[in-house]
Structure 1
Amino acid sequence: MQHPTFIERSLDRSKKVRLRLVSVFLSLLIVLMSGIFKPSVSTTTTEILWDTYGVPHIFADNNEQLFHAFGWAQAQSHGNLILKLYGQSRGRAAEYWGEDYVESDRWVHTTEIPERAQDWYEAQNPTFRTYLDAFAAGMNAYAMTHPEQIDDAMEVVLPVTGVDLLAHMQRGLHFTFIVDSEQVSDLLESAQTKSTHQFAQESHARSNFGSNGWAIAPSHTTNGHAMLLANPHLPWSGEFLWYEAQLTAPGINAYGAALVGIPVLAIAFNDSLGWTHTINTHDGWDAYELTLTAGGYQFDDSVQAFEQNEQILKVRQADGTLRSETLPVRRSVHGPVVAEQDGKALALRVVGLDQPRALEQWWNMAQATNLTEFESALQELQIPMFTILYADRQGHILHLFNGQVPVRSQGNFDDWVGVVPGDTSTTLWTETHPYSDLPRVLDPDSGWLQNANDPPWTTTIPSALNPADYPSYMAPHEPIGFRAQRSARMLAEDEAISFEEFVTYKHSTVMELADRLLDDLIPIAQQQGGELAQRAAEVLATWDRQTNADSQGAILFAAWAEAMDFSNLFAIPWDETAPFTTPDGLANPAQAIAALETVAAEVEAQYGSLNVSWGDVFRLRMGEFDFPANGGPGYLGIFQVLNFAPDTNARFRAVHGDSYIAAIEFADPVRAMVLTSYGNATQPHSPHRGDQLELFARQELRPVWRSRSEIEAHLAARETV
């Protein structure tokens, strides 16, 4: 058989590209003719200046052009991923890509995301709706202009619309961050075997979402400028990826990061102010148990009928044909029914589904120039959750326990974490607390604010908030975690922090748990342990108590900690009057020694030594890049958070944790250092997949380039859109 020549192959590919171009163009033309996006007539040019790290710096003469270019840029960096996420948010992923997506489609349709997204689109401020359309049109335009850059399997999603953006945001924000299908499944599995308090603790401990955030007042810095640290910890894949960008148009010059496929920056700063988010201890959903009866379900001594409809799911088979599956969708006064068994049903109620303007609120936050304007945007309360930490050029710092918190009739935080009786209106909340009810701290005497996913009561120490002033269901009153203790300790122990120290503290890999327990564990193992425990104690005694790449002893201690039961580990429980020294001590020394001997044997057998370095086992791997990791799980009290998944040869690779990092000083001009750990692109041939991992391995951030002169000095490409 004669193989095609290079020219023949090139001609075949050229023909394919032309066909794809025509297909996408026709799809886009349909969108334009239907009036979904009506671009304004303009003779101006929008520029995207791409720097050497693949960050787009967009300069536009109006907001529609800015959003259009931002859509173009995101398609160029993450096109395949975003189209996949939009397809899932439509509830058509199984139709597009097969059986693996059936459960995803069922969740999307059961929670009514596509229909609600259409309603939200129609409820947008008309001006902002044109911005959503412009972003979608920018993505479509990129796909039309560069069809060879979009995978064949993803083209089926094109063209995208403003409705897709809202469905994607809703699926990610309300039905992943606030509640997802796995949480509901865990609740069902745990309902018969665990207390609500136990479920609450385990659910919080298992969370894949986390963050560190700092806001430091001028009184607590060496240079008299406020500083802000943004440090979210999210999975390094899918809808959780951050996209770093600069957006500049009349009235806005914001730098920060958006979650992929989202048309606005969620963490950002400008010349006047900045903010970051952390995941707060916010309970924005409830699962109601319904007693089924003929004709519906019991509610207040009467029978209520369900609202019912059917969705037809299409599922692509291996041979390319489609099969149909009927999905009955039932809704109670509480919300959609998500499970049914033994005469009972479980209905889900989620906050914020009647608040469609979260994207516009983020946009307004980025345009604010002072605290008054910023809080005016916050008071819209469209963003359903997330702590907000803020700092500005005037020296103000702010912590807000932001979110739509249900006004509940009774009970504390734990009472609402498990299954709630749904047969009475006394448990059915219908309102959320106004802005004035939320825990808020402005310019504390301490000069600093922090949050590491702990409740708001310890945002600064001594506390500026009294939990008794708030409903007991607002947030739990529980011990501050070890990562939060490390966070607060670094700020409290340095009364005047320089920007250089600020960046150094961000990279702290000190293990707070080790500082708390090694002074007990080492002497007990030396005195009472066997030969292996004594050798392990020697290793722990010389360990630097960090998880730097060359730290020896960290693997041994982390393995020991994982083997211990934290619920009865400590001799002295946490005391809120001694937040930096409790809990402390070993409650059961004999058990601690036995566990040390067991894990020491395992570590030595696996790696040939108890002195193996942290970075030899834990790696930063992506494509061609492979570096020793530093940092580790936050529950050990490590501020630089990384979580790992098994890789090859008993090694592990980072899959979650420090993602987008920004350290900002509100000097004149603003000074900032950043890092997007995994790089700013996922497209197959992009040079920016993993290109920042080496900086992460060296515990370094990059300088932010914001002025045209700085950007052009580090320019990789210039595009006009």
Structure 2
Amino acid sequence: MKINILLRVYKRKSIRVLPLILSLILVLFVGSHTIAVPTKSTEILWDTYGVPHIYGKDNRSAFYAFGWAQMQSHGDLLLRLYGQARGRAAEYWGEKYLDSDRWVQTARVPERARSWYKAQSPTFRSYLDAFATGINAYASQNPNLIDDQIEVVLPVKAEDVMAHLHRILNFTFVVNPEDVLDLSKQKLQAGSNGWAIAPTHSASGKAMLLANPHLPWSDLFLWYEAQVTAPGIDAYGATLVGVPVLAIAFNNNLGWTHTVNTYDGWDVYELTLAGKGYSFDDKVRNFETKTLSLKVKQKDGSLLEQPLVVKSSVHGPVIAEKNGKAVALRVAGLDRPGVLQEWWDMARAKNLTQFQTVLKRLQLPMFTVMYADREGHIMHLFNGQVPMRSEGDFKYWQGVIPGNTSKTLWTKIHPYQDLPRIVDPKSGWLQNTNDPPWTTTFPAAIKADNYPLYMAPRFMSFRSQRSARMLAEDDKISFDKMVADKHSTRMELADRILDDLIPAARKYGQDLGQQAANVLEAWDRQANADSRGAVLFAFWVQQMHFDKDKGFSKPWNENSPRTTPDGLANPESAVATLQAVAAQVEKTYGALDVPWGKVFRLRLGNVDLAANGGDGKLGIFRELDFAPGAEQTFQAVGGDSYVAAIEFSNPVRAMALTSYGSASQPGSTHISDQLQMFANKKLRPVWRDRSDILAHLEERKVF
């Protein structure tokens, strides 16, 4: 195939043949796909799973094509998200978006996005302009494929791209509006698994990386898989819809993934109102006040204007006022506009030194970085714009902070060298499942006592314990075993607690309790589609309201992080709960040992499959989040979303899956077309070489 490419190139009279032929021969014999085949045109090669492989004649052209590709796959969604990021969604689509607009405008997202755009280098600004131009070009040439109600957002500007990014990162991930309104609850179900395996722990002697974010399967959380090839870059990975660069990616030399870390980059301050302002350092300071006008589309199509008064203290915008008090929100990183450039340059790096040089910019506000490369290095970085706080531990800063003194007002963030980080641990492996960095590997490589108490909390979840167990139990782990472990549905909590629950049920249980004990004893302790007993156990755990310090006779202990918590604090009460749950399960489903997949389903469009996987709180590595569905069933609404397994061999070996498919646009054949593989615990091969892509080509677009 490669020789055929050379012959076709030779026949093109417009090319100076000899130098090109010599350079291509050099590439073919020196190493596999180290340099992309030069091209005079820009094109998108769509493979049979709807993944775009973008070949740009220059970087601006690649950004243009990426904008076009995202519109073809997710046009309606992308434009709706941009409309929300403008803070004008209620103007476009009605009152149901009014709270969203208030949040975006109060946070000054559109205003800051304009300044962020201007702060880009002229070169990178031109890339963002090209991405927006690609979006508009697709919409102009395919007007019938865009929802008429969504077209009002057009034309898109690069400022909209920045606003969307800003809304996602700083005002959804760093701080979610629902979390601000109720500090006692964390409502955003965002998580991830990430592994980095060194050559010493790899069966092939090559470093490996596992990327596995867990996000809701809708809205601004959808992942979009792509390959971007242009001068200086040949990267494969995924990003969130509407973001113009890859956020999780690998190239021929290195790769990284992100996990949502235990990062605290925001605080709420309670202010005492005084006069026309608030008390601060024994003086009265006036609020900075700005009045905006929100337009709300009515059912008859008319627009109703509503004023929005945005007050800001020295801390940030005021989000609530009551009984002589006000609450102001402070968010880190609002002066750091370079995250897109940082991700872009991470994908262009060739080694660990270059990669860390990019990371040191600290433009990415949060997310753990799990890294592996061809040279055999692995790294865990607790990345984030962590405020330098004067006092208090992590728990203290989760509450409402006194806002009447400058002593509690942070103004700086920790530099890169202050952040928890480990490169090439003795164990040969690193893992993170949204836990603090202290348990990333064993023996422990990052000591919590060496960092401020507010840097991160101290705990290790059952999912993280399961993750570490799977990595530690193999002296050498193969690529295939890594993929198999990725799909593990075994419940670490069941392994921990059934040896207490089953004997207690035998001792205290009545007839139904005895039957429940029999079901649990026969159960395989997994959440596979045919697992019988998993439903009973999961529903029992839900009613027990366990946490690391509640419900267990032995709470979690950082000196025994992988074997605690353990035991039942009140076995008799636990059995009473088990009997009540058993009665409900039998009444609802007709049997105590109802198969997991009968109750928990994968439903997208017309596809309805038995699910496997479940809540990470059960200690399941393959996490799925469910919501109530039809006929007493539950359907997956989040969790395992994008998976990439990479081995840095020559050539790089990689497999991937986007659970819900590569498109959301109505009429696409790539909505849910990967869901059966997901149900079967399979990944698909990643096609990166042009010859492989052409062998699985569905569509070609040339610009």
For 1:321 and 1:148, locate their aligned partners in 2 and report how far apart those are by CA, in whole Å. 25
Tell me, yes or no, if the aligned pair for 2:382 and 2:419 is still in contact at 8 Å.
yes
Q: Which residue of 2 aligns with 1:500?
A: 480
Give me the whole-angstrom Cα distance separating, in 1, the residues matched to 2:586 and 2:171: 43
**Superposition deviation, residue 576 in structure 1:** 2.5
**Is 1:137 aligned to residue 133 of structure 2?**
yes
Q: Give the secondary-structure state (helix, strand or coil) at the position aligned to 1:598.
A: helix
Question: Of residues 529, 545, 554 in structure 2, which corresponds to 1:549?
Answer: 529
Output one character per residue of 1:342-387: Cα deviation in whole Å (capped at 9) or x when no partner.
Answer: 1111111001100001011000000001001100110010000000
> Scaled by the length of structure 2, what TM-score is found?
0.94
Q: Distance in 1 between matches of 2:106 and 2:333?
A: 17
Indicate whether 1:580 and 2:576 are aligned: no
Q: 2:641 — aligned with what?
A: 659
Q: Which residue is 1:516 aligned to?
A: 496
User: Partners of 1:622 and 1:147 in 2: how far apart?
Assistant: 26
Q: CA deviation at 1:568?
A: 2.5
What is aligned with 1:681? 663
Which residue of structure 2 lines up, in the alignment, with residue 619 of structure 1?
601
Instruction: Give 1:115's aligned residue.
Output: 111
Given the alignment of the two structures, is residue 439 of structure 1 paired with residue 435 of structure 2, yes or no?
Answer: no
The residue matched to 1:705 in structure 2 has which SS? coil
CA–CA separation in structure 1 for the residues paired with 2:545 and 2:331: 33
Match of 2:228 in 1: 247
Amino acid paired to 1:147 = P
CA drift at 1:251: 0.6
Question: What letter is aligned with 2:101?
Answer: D
The question of whether the paired residues in 1 share the 8 Å contact of 2:176 and 2:188 is answered with: no
Query: 1:244 Cα shift?
Result: 0.2
User: How far off its partner does 1:181 sit?
Assistant: 1.3
Q: In the aligned structure 1, how far is the partner of 2:421 from the partner of 2:471?
A: 19
Q: Deviations over 1:496-554 (max 9, x none)?
A: 00111010000000000000011111122123210000001100000000000000000
The residue aligned with 2:160 is 164
Match of 2:514 in 1: 534
3-state SS of the aligned residue for 2:361? coil
* Uncovered stretches (5+) of structure 2, i.e. residues with no partner: 1-37
Residue 480 of structure 1 pairs with residue 460 of structure 2: yes
Offset, 1:627: 0.8
Is the aligned partner of 1:56 residue 2:38?
A: no
Deviation of 1:278 (Å) = 0.2
Unaligned runs of 5+ in 1: 1-41, 188-198
Please say if 1:150 is aligned against 2:149. Answer: no
Residue in 2 that maps onto 1:190: none
| Structure 1 residues 43 and 444: alpha-carbon distance in aligned structure 2, compared to 1, 3 A threshold | closer
Alignment of 1:153-192 (within 5 A): 153-187=149-183
Residues 349-428 of structure 1 correspond to what in structure 2 (within 5 A)? 349-428=330-409
Q: Which amino acid aligns with 1:526?
A: R
- Partner letter of residue 547 of structure 1? A
CA distance in 1, matches of 2:103, 2:653: 44
State the Cα deviation string for residues 318-353 of structure 1 (Å, max 9, x = none): 000001000001111100111111111111100110
Alignment of 1:693-708 (within 5 A): 693-708=675-690
Q: Within 1, Cα distance between the matches of 2:274 and 2:557?
A: 49
Q: How many residue pairs are counted as aligned between the two chains?
A: 664
**1:43 shift after superposition:** 10
SS at match of 1:718: strand
In 1: Cα distance, 2:433 partner to 2:688 partner: 29
The SS at the match of 2:290 is: strand
Q: Secondary structure at the match of 1:568?
A: coil
Q: Which of 69, 81, 86 is equivalent to 2:77?
A: 81
Alpha-carbon distance, 1:186 to partner: 0.4
Matches within 5 A, 1:147-296: 147-187=143-183, 199=184, 202-203=185-186, 206-296=187-277
Contact 2:460 2:562 in 1 (8 A): no
Paired position in structure 2 for 1:127: 123
Are 1:470 and 2:466 matched, yes or no? no
Quote the sequence identity (%): 64
Equivalence for 1:628: 610
CA distance in 2, matches of 1:481, 1:628: 27
Q: 2: distance between equivalents of 1:578 and 1:180?
A: 33
Aligned equivalents of 2:328, 2:559: Cα separation in 1: 41
Structure 1 residue 44 displacement after superposition: 3.4
Deviations 1:424-456 (A, max 9, x none): 000000000000000000000000000000000
- Displacement of 1:145 after TM fit? 0.6
Per the alignment, in what secondary structure is the counterpart of residue 631 of structure 2? coil
Amino acid aligned to 1:114: P
1:407-437 superposed Cα distances (whole Å, 9 cap, x missing partner): 0011111111111010100000000000000
